[in-house]
Amino acid sequence: MEEFCQRVAERTNARPRTAEWDASAVLSGLAEAVSGGELNQIISQLPSGYATLFGKADLAG
Cα gap 35→49, rounded to integer Å: 20
Does a structural domain hold residue 44?
Answer: yes
What average pLDDT does the chain have? 92
Does a structural domain hold residue 61?
Answer: no
pLDDT tens-digit map of 26-51 = 999 999 999 989 999 999 999 988 99
Does a structural domain hold residue 31?
Answer: yes
Overall number of domains in the chain: 1
pLDDT at 48: 87
- For 28-56, letters b (16+ CB in 10 Å) and e give eeebeeeeeeebbebbeeeeeebbebbeb
pLDDT at 59: 64
Residue 50 neighbours by CB under 8 Å, 6+ apart: 1, 4, 43
Enclosing domain of residue 14: 2-54
Does a structural domain hold residue 60?
Answer: no
pLDDT at 60: 56
pTM listed for this prediction:
0.84
